[in-house]
Structure 1
């Protein structure tokens, strides 16, 4: 029997009974272990395996994962060029029910192209926010100075533009950061909105939003410097302060943190508004409400409070868990003695990358003259 005929038969078999790749299933299992889907806010969120691409053994992808905050066309192009098996997109590319899948919608275009290439898409979103050791706790480490940038962290490049007064847009460049306990400001950390019980064992502190309470009040400028370092030294820090105060005069005892759009977490259902609200975005009227009550708001643009977590924490966590998960999957597959999938299970290599194309839609044009 010719190799061409065997390949065609395998392709027909895959088309008649489509399955996702064994490696994709190992990635999904690893993500669920790290960030249990039961912790996601299902009142609005859409987490889990959003696109399960059919597995084509005749043209299989690499044992590779691409981490991103947003699944844009540029990121889809990157995933296809890398031949990854799975894109882990923090934000769900499918939020509401779809009545069709066509090329008229750019996001649907990306989904169709990825499916054609055999690339699946998984979204953890608010499960990452709620899980202890997740994005909320990482933001706490930033404001308390518990992490310091490594030598790989770079500041945004300010480049010229045709404007006579402003540069081209600059974007934060998050790099790998390392724990720095010696510089951590003494504090207590609590969860603002605990997850409904029962939570998975060992995750009793799960929930949305975190509140940092410093043992001693800190200057606002100290906290702003910590934030800038932790998220990639943005070209500007959008900040709102009470009109009766100055940046140098403000002292901060409590900081409420929430990645992304945090007003519903930081302002609603809390007995007292924190001295500083650190989030990605907040509406005009919510910001006015906060500063009129004496608080400070730092809102960096939605995903600038999220992106650094991928390189600082998630990549290493997923790689470690996935290595064990894939090893177990391979042993089970080889034990089943499936000749058709033998070459798949014999491949022990795997990679986890952070997207180089992912960025927030908003950049900062810096005044140069």
Structure 2
């Protein structure tokens, strides 16, 4: 592993320790290019390494990709150009581009995606005082050393209507439309809620049965939604990656800060590495998009 790749991996580990990832997940450095790309100091952040994102990386001075979702999840029996996703990996490796995935480690860590979602709905949109902010706690099992957990529970100081929660979510995620399910007989204009359970991505299996008035996630199965409303819970679904993509600019700032900190530490012993890390550009992909459109 080159010093630059190692430094980026170490920086991501400090942001989202891989020990926080779910046991079923596949995280960390998933593709290590055998030869680093020359004169390329860009780190590209994306939710998915789609064909379009891979082409964006290949056409730009990118040497490292942080893909939130793992580009390799299940064991591969072969790696060929016939498979479009595998072709992207092969082209990246040939071009000298390495790929890293933090996935559920970035969900769980304090200050990660779940906290970003929680912060967006725990405060009123009218700039109220700090005491009006909701309390954010871990939902589910607390992970090692208190670094975080699989979900978050927002407890509001004062109940608000479901319509207010929907407004906050759409404003925070910059969405015009979301999917909502209400328990039978409930009026969202007048019904008040005070606790919101949160899980980025697909949260049905984690949220069901938890003590929250509202389940807020990207997607749930049909039967999970039915089970939730049958037991008196509201459901808000925003599209899997819509609950994740808006965090990428925050991740970019965190990664820049970590790289600059590393550069300061190694400056006296490795000036070339320090200069390279200082010059690294962290960019959010322009081609990364939710795969589904509302038409």
**TM class, shorter-length:** over 0.9
Q: Pairwise CA RMSD of aligned residues? A: 2.0
Partner deviation per Cα, 1:62-115 (whole Å, 9 max, x = no partner): 222111111101111111112211100010011111111101211101100100
Select which of 225, 244, 257 maps to 1:320.
257
Provide the residue aligned with 1:100 in structure 2.
78
* Structure 2 counterparts to residues 205-216 of structure 1, below 5 A: 205-216=147-158
CA distance, structure 2, for counterparts of residue 146 and residue 333 of structure 1: 48
CA distance, structure 1, for counterparts of residue 235 and residue 72 of structure 2: 30
Partner deviation per Cα, 1:314-353 (whole Å, 9 max, x = no partner): 111111111122343454334xxxxxxx5x6654412110
Tell me, yes or no, if the aligned pair for 1:55 and 1:118 is still in contact at 8 Å: yes
* Structure 2 counterparts to residues 89-238 of structure 1, below 5 A: 89-145=67-123, 182=129, 185-197=132-144, 199=145, 204-232=146-174, 234-238=175-179
Q: CA deviation at 1:183?
A: 7.3
Q: Does 1:362 align with 2:288?
A: no
Q: CA deviation at 1:40?
A: 0.7
Q: CA deviation at 1:195?
A: 3.5
Tell me, yes or no, if the aligned pair for 1:213 and 1:254 is still in contact at 8 Å: yes
CA distance, structure 2, for counterparts of residue 280 and residue 325 of structure 1: 35
CA distance, structure 2, for counterparts of residue 51 and residue 101 of structure 1: 12
Provide the residue aligned with 1:163 in structure 2.
none
Partner deviation per Cα, 1:205-246 (whole Å, 9 max, x = no partner): 5111001111211111111111111111x2311111123112
* Structure 2 counterparts to residues 1-369 of structure 1, below 5 A: 19-20=1-2, 22-42=3-23, 44-56=24-36, 60-145=38-123, 182=129, 185-197=132-144, 199=145, 204-232=146-174, 234-267=175-208, 270=210, 272=211, 274-311=212-249, 313-329=250-266, 331-334=268-271, 346-347=275-276, 348-365=278-295
Provide the residue aligned with 1:338 in structure 2.
none
CA distance, structure 1, for counterparts of residue 101 and residue 39 of structure 2: 19
Partner deviation per Cα, 1:148-193 (whole Å, 9 max, x = no partner): 9xxxxxxxxxxxxxxxxxxxxxxxxxxxxxxx67478432221112
TM-score (norm 1): 0.75
Helix, strand or coil: the match of 1:85?
strand
CA distance, structure 2, for counterparts of residue 99 and residue 362 of structure 1: 29
Helix, strand or coil: the match of 2:72?
coil
Instruction: Summarize the Cα distance change of 1:25–1:326 in structure 2 as closer, same or farther, 3 Å threshold.
Output: farther
Gap regions ≥5 residues in structure 2: none
Tell me, yes or no, if the aligned pair for 2:123 and 2:133 is still in contact at 8 Å: no
Instruction: Summarize the Cα distance change of 1:303–1:23 in structure 2 as closer, same or farther, 3 Å threshold.
Output: same
Tell me, yes or no, if the aligned pair for 2:124 and 2:133 is still in contact at 8 Å: no
Partner deviation per Cα, 1:132-152 (whole Å, 9 max, x = no partner): 01111111111113789xxxx
Helix, strand or coil: the match of 2:167?
helix
TM-score (norm 2): 0.93
Paired residues, what number? 294
Instruction: Summarize the Cα distance change of 1:346–1:90 in structure 2 as closer, same or farther, 3 Å threshold.
Output: closer
Give the greater-gyration-radius structure (CA).
Answer: 1
Helix, strand or coil: the match of 1:217?
strand
Gap regions ≥5 residues in structure 1: 1-18, 149-179, 335-341
Helix, strand or coil: the match of 1:248?
coil
